Every structure is written in C-alpha cells, then in structure tokens.
Amino acid sequence: IGRVEGYDAGFPTREYLGVTLGADSARIGPALEALRQRLESDPDVAGVTFVDRLPGESHIHRRVDLSRPDSPTAVVATAAVDPSYFDVLQAPIIAGRAFTHADVASGAHVAIVDQVFADSVMGGRNPIGHTIRLRTSQMPDSVVARLPRYEIIGLVKELGMSSMAMPPRVAGVYLPVAPGGLGAVNMIVHGRGDPLALAPRIRELALAVD
C-alpha cells in the first residue's frame, strides 16, 4: 500500500491511497466488490475504484489507428478502469459521457480519451464519435484488420497516464472493465482524512473478504 503522491496526476493525490491487490482472476471479482462495499460504508472513505495501472506508473502503450484512413498512427498509453474511476478521482467528463456498468456488461467497444489525445492525436478536433483501433507495432495488417474498433464516447483531462520517469504529456485512452478483469488489480481509495490512516483497515478487510 502506498500513497499516490509527488506527481501531478490531475487530481488531489494527497487525499488518495493506491493499493495493489494481486493478479487478475474471475474468482476475485466478487471479493473485490465486497471489499469496495465494506470500504464505502466507512465514514472515512469518500470513494473506491479500480484500475490496471495507478496514475504515475508506467502504462501499457499501443499504436492507435483513427477512423480516418489518411490519419497517421500514434502511440498512446492505455488504462483499463472501473466505470466509477472518473467520479472517484473527481475528474468530470469534459465532453461526451462517462462509462456505465452497461458498457462492461455488454462488452461494448467504447473508449474515453484525455485532453492530450484530443490535442496531439486529433489535432485539437473534437474526438467524440470517432473510432479507433489499438494495436502493437509488430502486428501484421491482416491481424489489425480483424481488431475491434472502439467508439470514443468521452473526453477527460490529463490524469497521470505518463510515468514519473517519462515526459508529462502522453496521450491516454481508457477502456471500461469490471474489477477482477484486469491485469494487476489496483484499487484507489479516496479518504476523507489522511488516507494512510486507512491502511490497516484496508488490509484487515481485504483478508476478511478473501
């Protein structure tokens, strides 16, 4: 458990605690929801959400192909987030809409991008309604053509998609996911007081639910 601090992540990091919970597994999804519910019932907790990489950590990078055939590809940082992510980080949607649980349940191919994406990849144009593909650099064109296209449904400000060791402006793409359906499972807890004071309680509850 560690405080998310010392880095301009676009939200008041001193109010938050980043918690690494373990590897992904369908089995732990219900346990994570139980942990969330127990924590949110604590008067010292303002919110709980989940993400595959914490703000300020190194994120997975992909090449992005836009819906316009004449558009060049660009490298973006990606994150898989719980639909509550932007609410808990107090980062309202600038344009479009946020993720919903229906997006996760239906497996909808939707994405939210950040302001750096709009500025650098879209050239300042409104990204809402455009579609993108996410691929690796070595992926053959025949494979790329079979990849799903994600519709951009929302725009948010920069939220720590670059690592502390990298230049600050890296275009970011967010995809919706349910807790437990991530790579490494990370939880972010928004405390009403000093979030470090919550660490013993979080450990206790985590052991109690699983």
Tokens 């004071």, located at residue: 197
Q: Can you point out the beta strands (E) in the chain?
A: 2-3, 16-23, 45-51, 60-66, 74-81, 95-96, 110-114, 131-135, 150-156, 172-176, 184-191
Tokens of 53: 């990489």
Give CA separation, 77 vs 13, 37, 46, 57, in Å: 20, 30, 28, 11
How high is the pLDDT of residue 1?
47
Q: Answer positive or negative: Cα dihedral of 174, 180, 184, 185.
A: positive
Map tokens 């992005």 to a residue.
64
Distance, CA of 46 to CA of 190 (rounded, Å): 5
**CA distances for 34 relative to 28, 97, 158, angstroms:** 10, 27, 30
The gap from C-alpha 197 to its chain's centroid, in whole angstroms, comes to 25
pLDDT of residue 182: 66
Altogether, the residues listed in the chain come to a count of 210
User: In the chain, which residues have pLDDT < 50?
Assistant: 1-2
- pTM given for the model: 0.90
